[in-house]
Structures are given as C-alpha cells and as structure tokens.
Structure 1
Amino acid sequence: MLIPADDGPAIVACNTCRHSKDAQNDADGQRGGALLVAALRAMQQADPRYAGIAVQEMPCLFSCTEFCSVHVRAPGKLGYVLGRFTPDEEAATALLDYAVLHAASEHGRVPFKEWPKGVKGHFICRTPPAGFVAQ
C-alpha cells in the first residue's frame, strides 16, 4: 500500500532497520531505524537550515544488510540510498546537511568535496527520477 507524502526534498528513513550489523535492536529494544528517524526529526526541529527537508519514514527499504538506511530524494533529481549509520545526532546532522546540498543542486549531483564527512562511505546506490536515466 502506498501512502501519499510531500513531493519535495526529503529523507525517507527505514523505521524498521536493524540497529547495527550484529544487532536488530539496541539495549532498550528499539530498532535502529526508529532511533535514526527520531534523531533526524530532533535535528530538523533544532535547526532552521533543515526546514525545507521533509523527514519521512516507512518500513523496510529492502537494504537490510546495510542497516539504518535512508533514501535522499527531491523532484527531478537523482536520488541516493545510504546506509550503515549509527542512529544518532551526528549521522542525522550529516544526512540533513547532505539533503540540503542535494536539494540545492541542479540534478541531484553534489560535488564530492562538498559532501559532509559523515556521509562519505555510506552510499549504497543512486536512483533516477521518474522519467529519466543518468549519463
């Protein structure tokens, strides 16, 4: 079943992701994905720079081996699936910083030298926007 969501710039986080490679839940029994969603929302509310980035969630992005996965997307731009995050404020800030750069880019391509340190090494794949493929 599909649920309508805002079509603007967004981070779609898997709210059922594993906590880590070795653990489904943290010590309190919470999933890593739910913790990452909470961290993303907290950081978004704490900093007005992130007001233009929606934090959306859904169960399972089907990248289970890559725990704590998100999809960064915006209309008419390449999207990116990233994973292997520790579900904390540092990861949330890096993801939101990247999403701001992504939303401001022409086609979704952010130059590597501008990537926040916290997203480097976390990219899994890129996704073309509907009706396009990339060169």
Structure 2
Amino acid sequence: MPNLLVPAEDGAAVVACSTCRASTDAKDDAEGMRGGARLVAALQAVQASDPRYAGIAVQAMPCLFACQDFCTIHVRGPAKIGYVLGRFTPDEEAARAILDYAVLHAESAEGQVPFRQWPAGIKGHFITRTPPAGYVAQ
C-alpha cells in the first residue's frame, strides 16, 4: 500500500485542492482544466511575483473533501487554528486575497485574524476552522 501522507514544509501554508471543480456546474473550465489546478497555478504565480508571500508555502493536495464548495484551500500554520475556505473563482484576484489573508494568519499569535483586517476577497468564503494538533479552540 502506498504512503497516503507526503512530507511537506511545516510552516505557514496554503494547501489548495488540486482536483476541485471549476464551479458548481462544471468540473473543468473552458480549456479543460480543473478549477483546483487553475487555483494552484494562480497561487503559485502570485506567490512568486511578490516577496511579501515568501514565508507562505503553496502546497497542492488532491481533494480536501469539500466538493460542494469547489476551489477550496486550507490556511494553516504550526500551533495555529486553521481555516478551510472555498467557492473561489480560480484566478489571480482570488489568489492574492488568499495569500494576503495567509500572511495575516502567519503573523497572528494563534491563527485568529480580526475581521476588520480580512481582505474583501475572502469574506463569505469560510467553510470551517480546524484546531491544531493537541488543541481545541475556545
């Protein structure tokens, strides 16, 4: 049986579902590419274009099991509350909003970013929060 888990950088990261649907109605976009793969590519391009995002790893993973919410990502960091967000348009604008939020998340003490600091592009996209290993949130 092959290993299910693959080692990844243990730091601030955006884990993006690489197999997500492009939208509620379509698996692939007009060019035959999955929405998740398109979002991963946008995240990687935006991250590479701006040194502000150097401390945030962009990691791809097939299926985050949030299929009804297409184009999903998980923002995480060591000993921090993580967040799963979805329903993004897989483009540069969404990628920049996600990475802007990930920077704020990484700078926070426990993963909680005040609502007033949230980039507009992530509001309404939260699906769930996840506790770090060994903790639950209050």
TM-score by length of 2: 0.98
Unaligned runs of 5+ in 2: none
Q: CA RMSD in A?
A: 0.3
Compute the displacement of 1:71 (Å).
0.3
TM-score by length of 1: 1.00
Is 1:20 the counterpart of 2:20? The answer is no
Q: Residue 49 of structure 2: which of 21, 46, 49 is its match? A: 46
Q: Which amino acid aligns with 1:56?
A: Q
**How many matched pairs?**
135
Q: Residue 98 of structure 1: which of 98, 101, 104 is its match? A: 101
Unaligned runs of 5+ in 1: none
Task: Name the CA distance, whole Å, in 2 between partners of 1:5 and 1:14.
Answer: 15
Q: Aligned residues: percent identity?
A: 72
Within-5 A mapping of 1:82-121: 82-121=85-124
Task: Name the CA distance, whole Å, in 2 between partners of 1:49 and 1:14.
Answer: 23
Report the equivalent of 1:30.
33
Task: Name the CA distance, whole Å, in 2 between partners of 1:87 and 1:116.
Answer: 16
Report the equivalent of 2:58.
55
Report the equivalent of 2:76.
73
Q: Per the alignment, in what secondary structure is the counterpart of residue 85 of structure 1?
A: coil
Task: Name the CA distance, whole Å, in 2 between partners of 1:69 and 1:132.
Answer: 24
4+ runs of 1 displaced by more than 2 Å?
Answer: none
Task: Name the CA distance, whole Å, in 1 between partners of 2:92 and 2:5.
Answer: 29
